[in-house]
Copies of this chain bind each other. A is one copy, B any other.
Amino acid sequence: MGFEEMAECYKALGDKTRLKILALLMVEDLCVCEFVEVLKMTQPAVSQHIRKLKNVKLVKERRQGQWIFYSLDRDRYPHLHSVWESLPDLSDEVEKLKVNGKKVYCTD
C-alpha cells in the first residue's frame, strides 16, 4: 500500500465522530438511524461520515429491508487490528439504545 492510500485511510480515522462510529461498530453492526441517536447528529452528517469510511473500505454495508447495516471491516488493514482494540468500549451506548427502544431489530 502506497503513502497516498495510507494517508487517505488515516485521514478517515482523523475525526472524533468517525472514531466513535468505528468504536460503535466494534460492539455490533448498526444502521444510520442508530448512529443519529447515539451521536446526537443529523442524518446527513452521519451519512457523510459513513461515506468517508466506506470510501477507504473501513466499513462494509449490507441492506436489510429499509435499513442499511454497516460493519467494520476489521481485516481489511491487518496493521490496524491494534487500533481497533484500542478504541474505547462503547457497549454502554449501544445498551442505552436498546433500553430506550431505539435499537433496530431486523429479522430477515
Residues of A within 8 A of B (CB): 1-4, 6-16, 18-20, 23, 78-83, 85-88
Contacts and interface: CB of A to CB of B under 8 A. Distances in A.
Nearest to A87: B6
Contacts of A1: 86
In the complex this chain forms, how many copies of it are found? 2
26 contacts: A1-B86, A3-B19, A3-B88, A4-B16, A6-B19, A6-B87, A7-B14, A7-B15, A7-B16, A7-B18, A7-B19, A8-B14, A9-B14, A10-B10, A10-B19, A11-B11, A12-B14, A13-B13, A13-B14, A14-B14, A79-B83, A79-B85, A79-B86, A80-B82, A80-B83, A81-B82
